[in-house]
Amino acid sequence: MSLIPSFEVSEWIEEMGGSPMHKCYQCGTCSALCPWGPLTGYSPRLLNIMSQLGLDGLEDLVWECSTCKLCVDHCPRDVDLIGIVQAVRKAFGEGGMLPAPLRTAVGSLQSSGNPWSGAREKRLDWASGADLPTFQDQDYAWFPCCTLAYDPRNKAVARSQLALLKSMGISFGAFGNEINCCAESLTKIGEEELVDSLQRNNRNIFESRGVEKLLVSSPHCLDTFKNDYDSPRVQPVHFVEILAEKLADGTLKPSRDLGSIKVTFHDPCYLGRHNGIYDQPRQVLEALPGVKLVEMPRNRAMSYCCGGGGGKMWAEVPTGQRPSENRIEEALNTGAQVMATACPYCLSMFEDAIKTLGAENDIRVVDISELAADACGL
C-alpha cells in the first residue's frame, strides 16, 4: 500500500458525497464497536483516514463494511460513516473496481431485475397453487422481496406469510413479474444509474396502481422504500408490525402450544438500528403459547450484525471471518433451541453459519412469521 497522499482521489470521493469524512477527529469509537474488526481487521477509522488522504488500498478496504450502523449511532461527532462508505464505493465502482461476486449480482439485477440470477418469469413460482391474489385496489400491496422469491430456504417464509395474511383477513394483493428488486443492495454498492432504472420501474407501478400501503417482508426493503424512493404516497410497513398488531387485537389467534421452547431473537440491523423496530418482534414471540423468550447479551440497539447487509450478502467471506458464526455461538450460550429473526438476509447467513459450525442438532433458525404460522396451525 502506498502512503503517498493523492488529494485528487480525496476530492473525487468528496464529489461522490464523502464530505462527512472531514468531521472525523479520529477518536476510534467506530473501530472499537465494528463487528468486523476482530474478524478481519477492518477499521472504519482507517477507512476514513485513507479517504481523507486518498491513499492506495481504499478500493479493497471499502468492501468490508456491512453498513450495520453501530458506528454511526455511537459517533460523538455524528459522522455519516455509511455515507462515506457509499461515496468511496461509488467512486471505485464507477472505475470498474467492483469485486467479482458483486459484479455477478449487478449483472443479474440488470438483466432479470433481481440479484439471485433468477428468471424474471419465475418470480412467483414459490406461490404455485397457493392462490396468491394480484394487487388491484386492496388495502395493502404485499412486496415479498427477491430473497423470498428465489432463495430456496426463504420461499418457506413467503408461504408462511401468505398463510398468515389470509388467516388475518387482511385485504392485500401482490405484484406479478413486472416488479423489480427494490435495489437496496445497489444503493449501498453505489450503482446509481441502475438504481434509478429499477426504482423508476417500481415507482411507475406503485403510482399507476394507486399503492398507498406497502407491506414488505425484508427490513432492507423497508429502509429503501422509506428513504430512497421519492414516493410520498407510499407508506411501507414491515410484516412483523402487522403481525404484532393482529395478535394484540385478537384478529390472529394462536391455536397451538409450541411446547415450552426457548427462543432468542436476533434484531436485524435494518429493522432495529436503521428503523427503530424493537418491541413488535418481542410482542409477537410473547404472544405465542409455549415460547419462552431469552435475550442474547447483545440485543436491541446493541445487536450484533449477521454480516449480510451493505451488499455483503453477495460477497465471499471465508469461514472464521463471518459475524454470523459468532452470533450463532452467542445464541447457543443462551440455551435457546430456536433463534428467530425477521430478515431474509439474516436467515440465510445464520443457516450457513449453523452448518459451518456443525450445530444443526443444537439450534435452528427461523423467521418469526414461521413460528407464528406454526402456532396458528397454518
Residues 115 and 240 in one domain: yes
With a CB cutoff of 8 Å and minimum separation 6, the contacts of 260 are 290, 292
Instruction: Find the CATH number of the domain harbouring 368.
Output: 3.40.50.10700
Residues 236 and 137 in one domain: yes
In DSSP terms, 236 is beta-bridged to 214
Q: Are both 120 and 155 inside the same structural domain?
A: yes
Write the DSSP symbol of residue 144. Answer: -
| pLDDT tens column, 279-303 | 999 999 999 999 999 999 999 999 9
Q: Give the pLDDT score at 196.
A: 93
- The answer to whether residues 336 and 258 belong to one domain is yes
pLDDT of residue 2: 58
pLDDT at 94: 74
What CATH number is attached to the domain comprising 147?
3.40.50
Half-sphere exposure for 211 (CA within 13 Å, toward CB): 29
Mean pLDDT calculated for residue range 26-39 = 95
Please tell me the least confidently modeled range out of 2-16, 45-59, 75-89, 133-147: 2-16
Residues 300 and 184 in one domain: no
Taking each helix axis from N to C end, the angle separating 44-53 and 81-94, rounded to the nearest 10 degrees, works out to: 50
Whether 85 is in a domain gets the answer yes
Sequence letter at residue 284: V
- Domain stop point among 94, 123, 152: 94
Confidence of residue 112 (pLDDT cuts 50, 70, 90): very high
Q: What is the CATH number of the domain that holds 42?
A: 1.10.1060.10
Q: Give the C-alpha separation, 285 to 292, whole Å.
A: 8
For residue 306, what pLDDT is reported? Answer: 98
Q: What is the pLDDT of residue 231?
A: 84
Mean predicted confidence (pLDDT) in 7-30: 92
Query: Of 105, 143, 168, 109, which is closest to residue 222 (Cα–Cα)?
Result: 143
Percent of all residues in the chain with a pLDDT value above 90, rounded to a whole number: 88
Residue bearing the bigger pLDDT, 7 or 35: 35
Same-domain check for residues 162 and 211: yes
| pLDDT for residue 166 | 97
**Residues 113 and 235 reside in one and the same domain:** yes
The 10s digit of each residue's pLDDT in 215-261 is 999 999 999 999 999 888 999 999 999 999 999 999 999 999 999 99
Q: pLDDT tens digits, residue range 7-16?
A: 888 998 999 8
**Where does a domain end: 43, 63, 94?**
94
286 and 309 together in one domain: yes
Residue 3 pLDDT greater than 80, yes or no: no
* Residue 208: partners with Cβ closer than 8 Å, 6 or more residues away: none
Q: Are residues 52 and 85 in the same domain?
A: yes
Cβ neighbors of 20 (< 8 A, separation 6 or more) are: 79, 80, 81, 83, 84
* Boundary residue ending a domain (212, 244, 276): 244
The secondary structure element, H or E, covering residue 39 is helix 37-40
Decide if 24 is inside a domain.
Answer: yes
Does residue 2 fall inside a structural domain?
no
What are the φ and ψ backbone dihedral angles of 103, each rounded to 5 degrees?
Answer: -65, -35
Tell me whether residue 1 is in a domain.
no
pLDDT (0 to 100) of residue 338: 98
Q: How many domains in the chain?
A: 3
Asked if 29 and 64 sit in the same domain, the reply is yes
299-333 residue pLDDT tens: 999 999 999 999 999 999 999 999 999 999 999 99
- Mean per-residue pLDDT of the chain: 95
Range of the structural domain that residue 355 is part of: 253-375
